[in-house]
Structure 1
Amino acid sequence: MDGRLIYLMGPSGSGKDSLIEAARGSLLAAGCEVARRVITRSAESVGEDAVGVTTAEFECLREEGSFALYWSANGLDYGIPARIDQWLEDGRHVLVNGSRAHLPIALERYPTLLAILLTVETDVLSKRLLRRGRETSEEIEARLRRNELFVAGESSGDAFIHRLDNSGDLDITVSRLLDLLSSNVKPDRI
Protein backbone atom coordinates (compact mmCIF):
# COMPACT_ATOMS: atom_id res chain seq x y z
CA MET A 1 0.00 0.00 0.00
CA ASP A 2 1.37 3.41 -0.93
CA GLY A 3 2.22 6.11 1.55
CA ARG A 4 1.17 9.72 1.22
CA LEU A 5 3.30 12.74 0.44
CA ILE A 6 2.91 15.53 3.01
CA TYR A 7 3.84 18.78 1.27
CA LEU A 8 4.65 21.52 3.78
CA MET A 9 4.84 25.06 2.38
CA GLY A 10 5.10 28.54 3.78
CA PRO A 11 6.90 31.81 3.32
CA SER A 12 10.57 32.02 4.17
CA GLY A 13 10.85 32.58 7.91
CA SER A 14 7.48 30.99 8.76
CA GLY A 15 9.25 28.33 10.79
CA LYS A 16 9.04 25.31 8.48
CA ASP A 17 12.52 24.11 9.42
CA SER A 18 11.88 24.59 13.16
CA LEU A 19 8.55 22.76 12.88
CA ILE A 20 10.07 19.87 10.97
CA GLU A 21 12.91 19.51 13.46
CA ALA A 22 10.57 19.71 16.47
CA ALA A 23 8.19 17.11 14.98
CA ARG A 24 10.87 14.83 13.49
CA GLY A 25 10.95 12.26 16.32
CA SER A 26 7.17 11.91 16.47
CA LEU A 27 6.95 11.67 12.68
CA LEU A 28 9.65 9.00 12.42
CA ALA A 29 8.13 7.00 15.28
CA ALA A 30 4.83 7.00 13.39
CA GLY A 31 6.34 5.78 10.12
CA CYS A 32 6.67 9.14 8.40
CA GLU A 33 10.01 9.88 6.77
CA VAL A 34 11.30 13.45 6.61
CA ALA A 35 13.04 14.18 3.31
CA ARG A 36 16.25 16.21 3.43
CA ARG A 37 16.37 18.77 0.62
CA VAL A 38 19.34 19.46 -1.62
CA ILE A 39 19.98 23.22 -1.91
CA THR A 40 22.50 25.34 -3.78
CA ARG A 41 23.49 27.01 -0.54
CA SER A 42 26.44 26.16 1.64
CA ALA A 43 25.70 23.42 4.16
CA GLU A 44 27.28 25.68 6.78
CA SER A 45 24.63 28.36 6.20
CA VAL A 46 22.19 29.02 8.98
CA GLY A 47 18.94 27.27 8.19
CA GLU A 48 17.50 23.87 7.60
CA ASP A 49 19.22 20.51 7.76
CA ALA A 50 19.87 20.26 4.02
CA VAL A 51 22.52 18.97 1.68
CA GLY A 52 24.43 21.96 0.31
CA VAL A 53 25.75 21.66 -3.25
CA THR A 54 27.12 23.97 -5.92
CA THR A 55 24.97 25.01 -8.86
CA ALA A 56 27.02 22.71 -11.13
CA GLU A 57 26.57 19.77 -8.74
CA PHE A 58 22.84 20.44 -8.55
CA GLU A 59 22.57 20.47 -12.34
CA CYS A 60 24.43 17.14 -12.57
CA LEU A 61 22.11 15.60 -9.97
CA ARG A 62 19.07 16.91 -11.83
CA GLU A 63 20.31 15.53 -15.16
CA GLU A 64 20.98 12.14 -13.52
CA GLY A 65 17.36 11.98 -12.30
CA SER A 66 18.33 12.23 -8.63
CA PHE A 67 15.32 14.40 -7.77
CA ALA A 68 11.67 13.50 -7.45
CA LEU A 69 10.89 17.24 -7.42
CA TYR A 70 13.02 20.33 -8.02
CA TRP A 71 12.54 24.08 -8.43
CA SER A 72 14.25 27.44 -8.17
CA ALA A 73 13.30 30.22 -5.75
CA ASN A 74 14.99 33.24 -4.20
CA GLY A 75 18.14 32.70 -6.26
CA LEU A 76 18.60 29.09 -5.07
CA ASP A 77 17.85 25.66 -6.51
CA TYR A 78 16.00 23.09 -4.39
CA GLY A 79 15.65 19.34 -4.92
CA ILE A 80 13.74 16.57 -3.16
CA PRO A 81 15.68 13.29 -3.49
CA ALA A 82 14.13 10.60 -5.69
CA ARG A 83 14.34 8.06 -2.82
CA ILE A 84 11.03 9.46 -1.53
CA ASP A 85 9.34 7.45 -4.28
CA GLN A 86 10.65 4.21 -2.77
CA TRP A 87 9.52 5.26 0.71
CA LEU A 88 6.06 6.02 -0.66
CA GLU A 89 5.93 2.70 -2.52
CA ASP A 90 6.92 0.96 0.71
CA GLY A 91 3.85 2.47 2.37
CA ARG A 92 5.67 5.12 4.38
CA HIS A 93 4.39 8.66 4.50
CA VAL A 94 6.94 11.32 3.57
CA LEU A 95 7.06 14.94 4.68
CA VAL A 96 8.83 17.38 2.37
CA ASN A 97 9.60 21.06 2.72
CA GLY A 98 8.07 22.22 -0.55
CA SER A 99 7.45 25.38 -2.55
CA ARG A 100 4.02 26.94 -2.92
CA ALA A 101 4.86 28.03 -6.47
CA HIS A 102 5.80 24.43 -7.30
CA LEU A 103 2.62 22.91 -5.78
CA PRO A 104 0.78 22.45 -9.12
CA ILE A 105 3.70 20.39 -10.47
CA ALA A 106 3.94 18.38 -7.25
CA LEU A 107 0.19 17.66 -7.49
CA GLU A 108 0.61 16.34 -11.03
CA ARG A 109 3.21 13.87 -9.82
CA TYR A 110 1.60 13.10 -6.43
CA PRO A 111 -2.16 13.70 -6.82
CA THR A 112 -2.99 12.46 -3.31
CA LEU A 113 -0.49 14.71 -1.55
CA LEU A 114 -1.55 16.48 1.61
CA ALA A 115 -0.84 20.19 1.16
CA ILE A 116 -0.13 22.13 4.35
CA LEU A 117 0.50 25.86 4.34
CA LEU A 118 2.36 27.16 7.37
CA THR A 119 1.29 30.75 7.97
CA VAL A 120 2.65 33.39 10.32
CA GLU A 121 1.56 36.88 11.27
CA THR A 122 3.59 39.55 9.47
CA ASP A 123 5.01 41.15 12.63
CA VAL A 124 6.21 37.76 13.88
CA LEU A 125 7.74 37.01 10.49
CA SER A 126 9.57 40.32 10.47
CA LYS A 127 11.20 39.57 13.83
CA ARG A 128 12.20 36.06 12.71
CA LEU A 129 13.78 37.27 9.48
CA LEU A 130 15.72 39.99 11.27
CA ARG A 131 16.90 37.52 13.92
CA ARG A 132 18.20 34.93 11.45
CA GLY A 133 20.18 37.57 9.54
CA ARG A 134 20.24 35.86 6.13
CA GLU A 135 18.45 38.52 4.09
CA THR A 136 19.11 42.15 3.31
CA SER A 137 16.53 44.73 4.44
CA GLU A 138 15.20 44.87 0.86
CA GLU A 139 14.83 41.09 0.76
CA ILE A 140 13.04 41.15 4.11
CA GLU A 141 10.61 43.77 2.84
CA ALA A 142 9.91 41.67 -0.27
CA ARG A 143 9.31 38.58 1.88
CA LEU A 144 6.97 40.51 4.16
CA ARG A 145 4.95 41.73 1.16
CA ARG A 146 4.75 38.16 -0.14
CA ASN A 147 3.67 36.94 3.30
CA GLU A 148 0.66 39.24 3.09
CA LEU A 149 -0.57 37.06 0.21
CA PHE A 150 -0.27 33.96 2.40
CA VAL A 151 -2.04 35.61 5.32
CA ALA A 152 -4.78 37.00 3.06
CA GLY A 153 -5.62 33.49 1.90
CA GLU A 154 -4.43 33.55 -1.69
CA SER A 155 -5.50 30.26 -3.30
CA SER A 156 -3.36 28.02 -5.46
CA GLY A 157 -5.18 26.17 -8.22
CA ASP A 158 -7.78 23.61 -7.22
CA ALA A 159 -5.70 22.10 -4.41
CA PHE A 160 -7.20 21.89 -0.97
CA ILE A 161 -4.63 23.44 1.32
CA HIS A 162 -4.70 22.96 5.07
CA ARG A 163 -3.56 26.10 6.90
CA LEU A 164 -1.46 25.85 10.03
CA ASP A 165 -0.63 29.02 11.97
CA ASN A 166 2.87 29.17 13.43
CA SER A 167 2.75 32.64 14.97
CA GLY A 168 2.81 31.37 18.55
CA ASP A 169 4.32 28.57 20.60
CA LEU A 170 6.12 25.96 18.45
CA ASP A 171 4.93 23.09 20.68
CA ILE A 172 1.33 24.01 19.89
CA THR A 173 2.09 24.08 16.16
CA VAL A 174 3.73 20.64 16.39
CA SER A 175 0.67 19.28 18.18
CA ARG A 176 -1.64 20.78 15.55
CA LEU A 177 0.51 19.33 12.75
CA LEU A 178 0.36 15.84 14.27
CA ASP A 179 -3.43 16.19 14.75
CA LEU A 180 -3.80 17.31 11.13
CA LEU A 181 -1.78 14.36 9.90
CA SER A 182 -3.65 11.83 12.03
CA SER A 183 -6.95 13.02 10.58
CA ASN A 184 -5.73 13.09 6.96
CA VAL A 185 -3.52 10.03 6.62
CA LYS A 186 -4.09 6.50 7.82
CA PRO A 187 -4.87 7.00 11.52
CA ASP A 188 -2.77 4.00 12.55
CA ARG A 189 0.27 5.56 10.92
CA ILE A 190 0.55 9.05 12.50
Structure 2
Amino acid sequence: MSGRLIYLMGPSGSGKDSLLNAVRVRLAERGCVIARRAITRSAEALGEDAIALTAAEFEVQEAAGAFALSWRANGLAYGIPRQIDDWLAAGQDVLVNGSRGHLAQARERYPDLIGVLLSVEPAVLRERLLRRGRESIEQIEQRLARNAQFDAASAERDGLHLLDNSTSIERAGDNLLALIGASRACA
Protein backbone atom coordinates (compact mmCIF):
# COMPACT_ATOMS: atom_id res chain seq x y z
CA MET A 1 0.00 0.00 0.00
CA SER A 2 1.42 3.38 -0.92
CA GLY A 3 1.19 6.46 1.24
CA ARG A 4 -0.82 9.58 0.56
CA LEU A 5 0.46 13.07 -0.12
CA ILE A 6 -1.36 15.65 1.98
CA TYR A 7 -0.82 19.04 0.35
CA LEU A 8 -1.45 21.86 2.85
CA MET A 9 -1.94 25.34 1.41
CA GLY A 10 -3.02 28.67 2.76
CA PRO A 11 -2.21 32.33 2.60
CA SER A 12 0.89 33.68 4.22
CA GLY A 13 0.00 34.25 7.88
CA SER A 14 -2.76 31.64 7.95
CA GLY A 15 -0.84 29.59 10.51
CA LYS A 16 0.41 26.66 8.40
CA ASP A 17 3.69 26.42 10.30
CA SER A 18 2.01 26.82 13.68
CA LEU A 19 -0.49 24.13 12.74
CA LEU A 20 2.25 21.74 11.60
CA ASN A 21 4.17 22.30 14.83
CA ALA A 22 1.01 21.71 16.88
CA VAL A 23 0.24 18.34 15.25
CA ARG A 24 3.78 17.08 14.49
CA VAL A 25 3.89 14.47 17.28
CA ARG A 26 0.34 13.23 16.68
CA LEU A 27 1.01 12.93 12.94
CA ALA A 28 4.19 10.94 13.60
CA GLU A 29 2.22 8.59 15.87
CA ARG A 30 -0.06 7.92 12.87
CA GLY A 31 2.86 7.27 10.52
CA CYS A 32 2.66 10.61 8.76
CA VAL A 33 5.87 12.49 7.97
CA ILE A 34 6.03 16.27 7.60
CA ALA A 35 8.47 17.09 4.81
CA ARG A 36 10.94 19.92 5.46
CA ARG A 37 10.94 22.22 2.48
CA ALA A 38 13.88 24.23 1.20
CA ILE A 39 13.43 28.00 0.96
CA THR A 40 15.66 30.77 -0.32
CA ARG A 41 15.28 32.78 2.87
CA SER A 42 17.82 33.09 5.68
CA ALA A 43 17.57 30.53 8.48
CA GLU A 44 16.88 33.33 11.01
CA ALA A 45 13.91 34.56 8.98
CA LEU A 46 12.36 31.22 8.12
CA GLY A 47 9.86 30.96 10.96
CA GLU A 48 9.38 27.29 10.10
CA ASP A 49 11.25 24.02 10.24
CA ALA A 50 12.78 24.44 6.78
CA ILE A 51 16.12 24.23 5.03
CA ALA A 52 17.57 27.66 4.22
CA LEU A 53 19.34 27.87 0.86
CA THR A 54 20.82 30.71 -1.12
CA ALA A 55 19.33 31.28 -4.56
CA ALA A 56 22.47 29.78 -6.13
CA GLU A 57 22.32 26.68 -3.88
CA PHE A 58 18.66 26.23 -4.72
CA GLU A 59 19.33 26.43 -8.47
CA VAL A 60 22.09 23.79 -8.20
CA GLN A 61 19.90 21.42 -6.18
CA GLU A 62 16.91 21.95 -8.45
CA ALA A 63 19.00 21.27 -11.57
CA ALA A 64 20.34 18.09 -9.93
CA GLY A 65 16.78 16.80 -9.36
CA ALA A 66 16.88 17.12 -5.58
CA PHE A 67 13.25 18.29 -5.41
CA ALA A 68 10.06 16.34 -6.06
CA LEU A 69 8.25 19.69 -6.31
CA SER A 70 9.60 23.22 -6.65
CA TRP A 71 8.12 26.64 -7.34
CA ARG A 72 8.64 30.37 -6.99
CA ALA A 73 6.38 32.74 -5.09
CA ASN A 74 6.72 36.14 -3.44
CA GLY A 75 10.32 36.52 -4.59
CA LEU A 76 11.43 33.22 -3.03
CA ALA A 77 12.07 29.70 -4.30
CA TYR A 78 10.60 26.67 -2.52
CA GLY A 79 11.43 22.98 -2.90
CA ILE A 80 10.05 19.74 -1.47
CA PRO A 81 12.82 17.11 -1.25
CA ARG A 82 12.62 14.10 -3.56
CA GLN A 83 12.81 11.90 -0.43
CA ILE A 84 9.02 12.17 -0.16
CA ASP A 85 8.75 9.69 -3.04
CA ASP A 86 10.60 7.08 -0.95
CA TRP A 87 8.34 7.70 2.03
CA LEU A 88 5.20 7.45 -0.10
CA ALA A 89 6.45 4.24 -1.75
CA ALA A 90 7.08 2.80 1.72
CA GLY A 91 3.44 3.43 2.64
CA GLN A 92 3.94 6.51 4.79
CA ASP A 93 1.62 9.47 4.48
CA VAL A 94 3.52 12.68 3.81
CA LEU A 95 2.31 16.18 4.61
CA VAL A 96 3.87 19.07 2.69
CA ASN A 97 3.54 22.81 3.09
CA GLY A 98 2.61 23.60 -0.50
CA SER A 99 1.45 26.49 -2.64
CA ARG A 100 -2.01 27.15 -4.04
CA GLY A 101 -0.37 28.56 -7.15
CA HIS A 102 1.52 25.29 -7.67
CA LEU A 103 -1.43 22.95 -7.00
CA ALA A 104 -1.99 22.02 -10.66
CA GLN A 105 1.64 20.98 -11.10
CA ALA A 106 1.59 19.05 -7.82
CA ARG A 107 -1.53 17.19 -9.00
CA GLU A 108 0.19 16.29 -12.26
CA ARG A 109 2.91 14.49 -10.31
CA TYR A 110 0.66 13.22 -7.49
CA PRO A 111 -2.88 12.88 -8.93
CA ASP A 112 -4.30 11.39 -5.72
CA LEU A 113 -3.00 14.08 -3.39
CA ILE A 114 -5.30 15.31 -0.65
CA GLY A 115 -5.52 19.09 -0.97
CA VAL A 116 -6.16 21.02 2.24
CA LEU A 117 -6.73 24.76 2.12
CA LEU A 118 -6.20 26.52 5.43
CA SER A 119 -8.49 29.53 5.67
CA VAL A 120 -8.56 32.44 8.08
CA GLU A 121 -11.04 35.25 8.53
CA PRO A 122 -9.65 38.40 6.83
CA ALA A 123 -9.42 40.46 10.04
CA VAL A 124 -7.52 37.66 11.80
CA LEU A 125 -5.19 37.24 8.82
CA ARG A 126 -4.46 40.99 8.69
CA GLU A 127 -3.61 41.02 12.40
CA ARG A 128 -1.30 38.00 12.06
CA LEU A 129 0.55 39.54 9.12
CA LEU A 130 0.96 42.84 10.94
CA ARG A 131 2.18 41.10 14.09
CA ARG A 132 4.90 39.08 12.38
CA GLY A 133 6.30 42.22 10.77
CA ARG A 134 7.84 40.62 7.66
CA GLU A 135 5.88 42.59 5.04
CA SER A 136 5.09 46.24 4.40
CA ILE A 137 1.49 47.46 4.69
CA GLU A 138 1.30 47.47 0.88
CA GLN A 139 2.51 43.86 0.70
CA ILE A 140 0.00 42.86 3.38
CA GLU A 141 -2.84 44.45 1.43
CA GLN A 142 -1.71 42.62 -1.73
CA ARG A 143 -1.68 39.32 0.17
CA LEU A 144 -5.16 39.99 1.57
CA ALA A 145 -6.48 40.83 -1.91
CA ARG A 146 -5.03 37.57 -3.33
CA ASN A 147 -6.50 35.61 -0.45
CA ALA A 148 -9.97 37.06 -1.06
CA GLN A 149 -10.01 35.20 -4.39
CA PHE A 150 -9.98 31.84 -2.59
CA ASP A 151 -13.28 31.14 -0.91
CA ALA A 152 -15.26 28.04 -0.01
CA ALA A 153 -16.75 27.83 -3.51
CA SER A 154 -13.34 27.89 -5.19
CA ALA A 155 -12.01 25.31 -2.72
CA GLU A 156 -14.92 22.99 -3.47
CA ARG A 157 -14.54 23.54 -7.22
CA ASP A 158 -10.85 22.62 -6.94
CA GLY A 159 -11.61 19.51 -4.85
CA LEU A 160 -9.96 20.89 -1.72
CA HIS A 161 -10.79 20.33 1.91
CA LEU A 162 -11.32 23.69 3.61
CA LEU A 163 -9.88 23.93 7.12
CA ASP A 164 -10.57 27.03 9.24
CA ASN A 165 -7.74 28.34 11.41
CA SER A 166 -9.35 31.53 12.64
CA THR A 167 -9.73 30.39 16.23
CA SER A 168 -7.51 28.06 18.27
CA ILE A 169 -4.63 26.10 16.80
CA GLU A 170 -5.77 23.11 18.87
CA ARG A 171 -9.16 23.08 17.13
CA ALA A 172 -7.55 23.39 13.69
CA GLY A 173 -5.12 20.58 14.61
CA ASP A 174 -7.92 18.28 15.73
CA ASN A 175 -9.83 19.05 12.53
CA LEU A 176 -6.77 18.36 10.36
CA LEU A 177 -6.19 15.00 12.05
CA ALA A 178 -9.88 14.12 11.65
CA LEU A 179 -9.76 15.06 7.97
CA ILE A 180 -6.67 12.91 7.39
CA GLY A 181 -8.27 10.01 9.25
CA ALA A 182 -11.51 10.33 7.29
CA SER A 183 -9.56 10.43 4.04
CA ARG A 184 -7.78 7.21 5.01
CA ALA A 185 -11.13 5.53 5.74
CA CYS A 186 -12.39 6.50 2.26
CA ALA A 187 -9.24 5.29 0.47
Please report the TM-score for the alignment, with normalisation by the length of structure 1.
Answer: 0.94
Paired letter, 1:43: A
Task: Give ranges in structure 1 of 5+ residues lacking alignment.
Answer: none
Aligned to 1:99: 99
**For residue 35 of structure 2, what is the aligned residue in structure 1?**
35
The 1-side partners of 2:21 and 2:38 are apart by 16
AA of the residue aligned to 1:22: A
Query: Residue 152 of structure 1: CA displacement?
Result: 5.8
**Preserved CA contact (<8 Å) 1:11 1:150:** no
C-alpha distance in 1 between matches for 2:37 and 2:46: 14
Q: Counterpart in 1 of 2:169?
A: 170
CA distance in 2, matches of 1:144, 1:71: 21
Give the superposition deviation at 1:44: 0.9
Q: Which amino acid aligns with 2:167?
A: G
* Higher helix content, 1 or 2: 2
1:54-102 superposed Cα distances (whole Å, 9 cap, x missing partner)? 0000000001100000000000000000000000000000000000010
Tell me, yes or no, if the aligned pair for 1:120 and 1:151 is still in contact at 8 Å.
no
- Note if contact 1:46-1:132 (Cα within 8 Å) is conserved in structure 2: no
Secondary structure, counterpart of 2:107 in structure 1: helix
User: Structure 2: how far apart are the matches of 1:46 and 1:77?
Assistant: 13
Q: Is the 8 A contact 2:71 2:77 kept in 1?
A: yes
Equivalent residue, structure 2, for 1:7: 7
Residues 77-92 of structure 1 correspond to what in structure 2 (within 5 A)?
Answer: 77-92=77-92
Aligned residue pairs total: 186
User: What SS does structure 2 have at the residue aligned with 1:185?
Assistant: helix
Structure 2 counterpart of 1:160, one-letter code: G
Report the CA distance shift for 1:140/1:3 in structure 2 as closer, same or farther (over 3 A).
same
| TM superposition shift of 1:185 | 1.9
